[in-house]
Amino acid sequence: MVAAMSQHRKTGQLSWRRLTVLLASGVTVLAGCSDGGEDPTSYDEGSPLASVVAAVEGAGSVHLSLGTQTRRGEVEMDVTWEDEDAFRAVAGTGTASRLDVRRVDDKVYVGGEAVGLQWTYLEVDDPRLQGEGGFDAGPVPVLLAVDVPGELEALAAAVQETRDLGEEQVEGVTAKHLELTVDSKAWQAELPEESMHAQMDLPETVTMDLWVDEQDLPVRWDYEGQGSTEGGKDDTARLYFTGWGDPVEVKVPGRAQPVE
């Protein structure tokens, strides 16, 4: 899609930090796309996360702030799954570098300052989003793979142990701090390969921290991978959740042109 989609491909496992940077810059993350995936393995309804999964599914929408444990909000995303799948994601911390990606019905649109405020679109089932002909879909496949209820349901099925660390204040919210021991391979196996979580290089067993409010809705979610770069570890994930259940209206951009 213009600057966001070009004719080359990059593959390989990436750190979460690298993924969020690539999303924020509109550079290729993956060559494939998924409009969801197989239903995740059913979790035990007696799981400590069962109430969290139910609360999330029932909320129908959320605002996500995706970043690392040192850089917050590199991607801001409003997503809904209540009546239809739709989202708007804005990546990039500077005005000139912002990339705006929207899904409305069966189309995905890319625009924003990073591509000269020119809007283009593809159908979500366009084979080019699956890498046909070496087509580079930029960050679109990763964003299309975001599935908040599905990610947490798969997580619930992979949790081996849960510790309640008590209440803490997170973003002005009184939240219960849960420490989760997770079979990372079982979790990742249930996610679309385009999912940012599936791309994390995790040990076989990983400790995660999840804070949930009094309605059992997530407020913050942290975990670390095994990747590192010169100068220190950067393979970390930190997600903030706000606006649970708020209406999400994603508008079709004016004068958007199909990708030729």
85 within some domain: no
61 within some domain: yes
Cα-based torsion angle of the residue sequence 176, 44, 83, 58 in order, rounded to the nearest 10 degrees? -30
pLDDT of residue 132: 84
Question: What range defines the domain where residue 228 resides?
Answer: 7-78+127-244
User: Per-residue pLDDT tens for 212-241?
Assistant: 999 999 999 999 988 655 455 568 899 999
- How many separate domains does the chain show? 1
Report the alpha-carbon angle 26-20-251, nearest 5.
55
Residue 159 maps to which CATH number? 2.50.20
Provide the strand spans (E) within the chain: 61-67, 75-80, 86-91, 99-104, 107-111, 120-123, 159-170, 173-183, 205-212, 218-224, 236-242, 257-258
39 within some domain: yes
User: Per-residue pLDDT tens for 26-81?
Assistant: 433 222 333 444 444 455 565 779 999 999 999 999 999 998 888 887 899 999 99
pLDDT of residue 30: 25
Distance CA 46, CA 156 (A): 10
84 within some domain: no
Distance CA 153, CA 90 (A): 26
User: Per-residue pLDDT tens for 81-97?
Assistant: 988 889 999 987 666 67
Q: What's the distance, CA 14 to chain centroid?
A: 14
| Cβ–Cβ < 8 Å for 87, 143 | yes
174 within some domain: yes
What pTM does this model have? 0.82
